[in-house]
């Protein structure tokens, strides 16, 4: 990530802070503000490939973009989304939450004993989420960058590209039934690397989440589909089916899931390559 990208990302963060201050001043007479509200004020798109999350998964590549070819990879992710400031309206479920999220995704091969790193992807986000009951609307600043592993680059004499985006996103989520929700949105990147990259992305998705029933395992399902202008609008689909594990201290904090992914790769360095893989992973939702 070069210094110009960091400088522009910092400027975007300053603008976001100014927005928080302006929003606070506008509604202070009508609402109650709270620092660091409960984490569930920031919604999760469970099947989105590069949303901040903490977890690990085995990846079986049927159609792989990297030089190791078909076989097994591993991916470890460390990420978190934190609600910073809640401006409540009539109730907590009718308020605006300002948050921050960040994550790193490391993909490494399981085809040799060295477990060499293939790629790392970094994300930083500043979401502004407006809730209306179970429905929500989100405006988000989003930074994304993809990097090639040094071992991989050296082994295959591959030169890394400068891959990065700074974007603004708009997403709307509709709870169509007690256990079923749909969402859709788009993003526009005002900074792209390489400079020739296209700027628009659209997405739709759905999530099926049955209500918790005591100590039993709770199944769920989710699908996320994206179309990037930079990939000639070829769809990228990720289908996730899993179970939430029993409650711990009153919350279901862990889930196990299988995924089927097809389309342009979610790894930044291979974003133009078509991939198809199955995964088995475990995730933590703090």
Q: Indicate whether 17 pLDDT > 60.
A: no
Q: Using the 8-state DSSP alphabet, how is residue 272 labeled? A: T
What confidence score (pLDDT) does residue 170 get? 98
What is the value of pTM for the model shown?
Answer: 0.84
The model's confidence at residue 21, banded by pLDDT at 50, 70 and 90, is very low
What confidence score (pLDDT) does residue 64 get? 84
What confidence score (pLDDT) does residue 22 get? 43
What confidence score (pLDDT) does residue 250 get? 66
What confidence score (pLDDT) does residue 43 get? 87
What confidence score (pLDDT) does residue 7 get? 40
Distances (CA, A) of 208 to 115, 216, 223: 35, 17, 9
Using one digit for the tens of pLDDT, what is the confidence trace for 60-83? 998 888 888 888 999 999 999 998
Q: Indicate whether 25 pLDDT > 90.
A: no
**Across 231-244, average pLDDT:** 96
Share of the chain above pLDDT 70, in %: 83
Place of tokens 């039934």: 177
Question: Between residues 164 and 285, which one has the greater pLDDT?
Answer: 164
What confidence score (pLDDT) does residue 114 get? 80
Q: Which of 186, 90, 204, 89 is nearest to 138 (CA)?
A: 186
What confidence score (pLDDT) does residue 91 get? 59
Residues contacting 66, CB < 8 A, separation 6+: 73, 109, 118, 152, 270
């Amino acid at each position: 990530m070069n210094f110009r990208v960091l400088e522009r990302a910092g400027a975007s963060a300053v603008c976001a802070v100014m927005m928080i201050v302006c929003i606070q001043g506008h509604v202070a007479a009508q609402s109650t503000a709270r620092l660091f509200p409960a984490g569930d004020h920031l919604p999760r798109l469970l099947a989105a490939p590069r949303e901040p999350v903490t977890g690990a998964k085995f990846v079986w590549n049927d159609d792989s973009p990297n030089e190791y070819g078909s076989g097994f990879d591993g991916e470890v992710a460390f990420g978190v989304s934190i609600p910073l400031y809640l401006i409540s309206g009539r109730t907590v479920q009718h308020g605006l939450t300002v948050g921050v999220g960040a994550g790193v995704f490391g993909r490494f091969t399981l085809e040799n004993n060295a477990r060499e790193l293939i790629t790392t992807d970094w994300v930083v986000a500043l979401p502004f989420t407006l809730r209306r009951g179970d429905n929500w609307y989100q405006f988000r600043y989003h930074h994304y960058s993809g990097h090639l592993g040094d071992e991989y680059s050296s082994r295959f004499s591959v030169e890394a590209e400068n891959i990065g985006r700074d974007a603004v996103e708009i997403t709307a989520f509709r709870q169509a039934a007690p256990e079923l929700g749909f969402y859709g949105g788009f993003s526009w990147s005002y900074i792209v690397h390489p400079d020739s990259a296209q700027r628009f992305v659209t997405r739709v998705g759905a999530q099926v989440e049955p209500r918790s029933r005591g100590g039993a395992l709770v199944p769920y399902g989710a699908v996320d589909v994206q179309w990037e202008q930079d990939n000639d609008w070829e769809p990228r689909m990720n289908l996730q089916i899993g179970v939430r594990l029993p409650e711990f201290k009153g919350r279901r904090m862990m889930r196990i899931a299988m995924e089927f992914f097809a389309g342009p790769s979610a790894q930044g360095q291979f974003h133009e390559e078509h991939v198809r893989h199955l995964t088995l992973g475990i995730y933590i939702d703090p």
